[in-house]
Amino acid sequence: MTQVITEQINMEALKKAIDDVFYNQIDSTILYYLQSCVNCKACEAACPFTPTSLKYSPVNKAEVARQLYRYRFTVWGRTIGRAIGGSKKYLKLDEVETMVDYVWHCTNCGACMFVCPMGIDSGALIDLLRQVAFKAGLVPSIYKEIEQLEVSGKYWEVKAFRDAWEGLISKMKSQLGKDIPLDKKSSEVLFYASIYEALVYPDVLVKVAKILDTLKVDWTFMSKPLGIRPPLALILGDKEGAAEVMKRILDYFTEMSPKYVMLTSGGFEYPALRYMMHEIFEIKPKYEVVHVTELLAKWYEMKRFTIESTDELITWHDPCQLGRRGGVFEAPRVLMRALSKNFKELPSHGVNSICCSRGGGGCGLPTMIEDMAKLIGITIDEKSKKFLDSTIVPLINAGKLKVDEINKVKASEVLTGCPVCIESISFAVNYYHANTQVKHIVDLLADRIKKV
């Protein structure tokens, strides 16, 4: 994977990037993560990438960050540490290759933090390395091009994206048999979705619209999406780019001022738009950003509707960003229990849920990235193709853990709340010929919700 990228290394830019990131980002939390690890390797048990290789265990990946930190912030690091390899001022060529390889073997799923006896979030340290890689121009070009399209706002000029969005809106209209509210201010629910969702599961979005209509909710949809899957920049380590995109979103949410901004995706958008965005700009929003399961669970408990129950054996996969990073565990379970008397938990669930590995730590399945590139008209060169192909291995390995668990509970349907989880787990289910289907929870709910 790394050969693809290292040919383009600009060592001066890399050094500057290392200094920038490490001198500017140390706060007490990061400092704690950097200096308090006991190297017990308990985190190995949590990471979806360790089945691929032990070198991808969280502590091993984060060690690169620790070496750079020690040189800068500890006396030992500057003296003895240098002599015995425990600290580094900058990285040598092969070490850069390793670092870049590591950053694409982390989904920032947060599983390591909950398993670490010291509560260390190795994902946050690997994210520092991802920021270094981004600043040094070491991001695969295919990712970078898609991301830049979003940061610049030019995504809306892409015909395929416009078509997908406009197609989605007309589908909603035809399914509901009427016009749908667009960009309406002060409604109860602003139904938020991204272009990516419009591309991968338009039917789920239409079903959400149907539910809102059935329940006679005062809702509105977006006439234009706010990004491809904003803020994409976040997962590439582009902090500034992410802030730019989030500012646009924040402005739109503030202008619309709904009571709830409701997301269908529980991927990284969830913690980003619910927490990070407001933390960065230090704004306490008047609205609340919620996942569709949170709102539906609340309304269900308020008896705004009933759910037709069955005996089907179903299970729930906790998306990392919705659960571990976002704190949503109970709401989907309220709905799952209502959907079936035979709702069973996966052996690893809640904070210990196994991450789907999201296609090698990138933005999604390689095939999905390729499809999107084709759609936009980006040529996938040899190097990018090689990189994308290499992301399949961890997906297969992490997928095995997931499929084994699904087989254990013998679930006929795996429900979840994130488009990438659906794609990744479906990939594993097909790969291992498991007998189950992976769906968005809304897929099932839409037909079973009855207004009281």
Partner 1 sequence: MQIPFGLYPVGLNLYPLALDLFIPTIFIFFAGASYRVTRYFVTYNKPFIVYTTQVRGITQGEKIKELFNTFANSSKVGIKRKPATTAVGLLMHIVLILIIFLLAQHMIFWAYYIPPYQILFPLAIPESSADGQLAFFRGSTPYTSTPYPFVHDIWGPLTIILNGQYLTYLLIIFLAIYLAHKFSVVVERLSIRAGDWWFFVLLFVDVVLGFLATSHIPNNVYWYDNLLGAHILVAEIIIATLPFTRGFHMFEFYLGKLREWYFMIMRRGMK
**Which residues sit at the interface with partner 1, rule CB under 8 A?**
26-32, 35-42, 44-46, 54-55, 57, 59-60, 63, 76, 80-81, 84, 86, 113-120, 274-275, 278-279, 282, 284-285, 288, 290, 294-295, 297-298, 326-331, 351-352
Contacts of 28 (CB under 8 A, 6+ apart): none
Residue 122's binding partner among ligand SF4, partner 1, none (Cβ under 5 to 8 angstroms by kind) is: ligand SF4
Is there binding between residue 43 and ligand SF4 (CB under 6 A)? Answer: yes
Name the minimum Å distance from CB 174 to partner 1: 31
Read off φ and ψ for residue 435, nearest 5 degrees: -100, 70
Pure H helices in 306-356: 330-339
Binding mask 331-370 for ligand SF4 (x = CB under 6 A): ------------------------x---------------
Answer yes or no: are the C-beta atoms of 111 and 355 closer than 8 Å.
yes
Nearest residue (beta carbon) to ligand SF4: 123
Strand arrangement of the beta sheet that strand 260-263 belongs to: 219-220, 189-192, 260-263, 288-291
Task: Pull the structure tokens for residue 30.
Answer: 């990061």
Is there binding between residue 107 and ligand SF4 (CB under 6 A)? Answer: yes
Pick from 9, 26, 42, 396 the residue near ligand SF4 by CB under 6 A.
42
Residue 331's binding partner among ligand SF4, partner 1, none (Cβ under 5 to 8 angstroms by kind) is: partner 1
Pick from 2, 87, 108, 397 the residue near ligand SF4 by CB under 6 A.
108
Residue 25's binding partner among ligand SF4, partner 1, none (Cβ under 5 to 8 angstroms by kind) is: none
Is there binding between residue 116 and ligand SF4 (CB under 6 A)? Answer: yes
Answer yes or no: are the C-beta atoms of 149 and 236 closer than 8 Å.
no
Contacts of 157 (CB under 8 A, 6+ apart): none
- Binding region for ligand SF4 (CB under 6 A) out of 109-117, 284-292, 390-398, 421-429: 109-117
Name the minimum Å distance from CB 25 to ligand SF4: 17
Closer residue to ligand SF4 in complex, CB, 43/296 = 43
Residue 2: count other Cβ atoms within 10 Å of its Cβ. Answer: 18
Position of tokens 């179903």?
314
Cis peptide before 231 (omega within 30 of 0): yes
Nearest to 408 by CA among 354, 452, 447: 354
Answer yes or no: are the C-beta atoms of 219 and 187 closer than 8 Å.
yes
Closer residue to ligand SF4 in complex, CB, 51/332 = 51
Closer residue to partner 1 in complex, CB, 210/298 = 298
Contacts of 349 (CB under 8 A, 6+ apart): 316, 318
Residue 215's binding partner among partner 1, ligand SF4, none (Cβ under 5 to 8 angstroms by kind) is: none
Is there binding between residue 111 and ligand SF4 (CB under 6 A)? Answer: yes
Residue 73: count other Cβ atoms within 10 Å of its Cβ. Answer: 16
Closer residue to ligand SF4 in complex, CB, 122/293 = 122
* Strand 449-451 versus strand 305-307 pairing type: antiparallel
Nearest to 136 by CA among 15, 232, 242: 15
Is there binding between residue 228 and ligand SF4 (CB under 6 A)? Answer: no
Please give the residues from 252 up to 291 whose contact with ligand SF4 meets the rule CB under 6 A: none
Name the minimum Å distance from CB 66 to partner 1: 8
Task: Pull the structure tokens for residue 141.
Answer: 């070009």
- Binding region for ligand SF4 (CB under 6 A) out of 117-125, 213-221, 242-250, 275-283: 117-125
Burial (CB < 10 A; 0-12, 13-18, 19+), residue 248, is middle
Name the minimum Å distance from CB 279 to partner 1: 5
Is there binding between residue 118 and ligand SF4 (CB under 6 A)? Answer: yes
CA–CA distance, 324 with 329 (Å, rounded to integer): 8
Please give the residues from 128 up to 167 whose contact with ligand SF4 meets the rule CB under 6 A: none
What number of chain residues touch ligand SF4 (CB under 6 A)? 28
Name the minimum Å distance from CB 450 to ligand SF4: 39
Q: In sequence order, what DSSP letters do the residues of 185-236 get, joined into one string?
A: TT-SEEEE--HHHHHH-HHHHHHHHHHHHHTT--EEB-SS-S-SSS-HHHHH
Closer residue to ligand SF4 in complex, CB, 37/289 = 37
- Residues in contact with ligand SF4 by CB under 6 A are 37-43, 46-49, 58-59, 61, 106-112, 116, 118, 120, 122-123, 126, 355
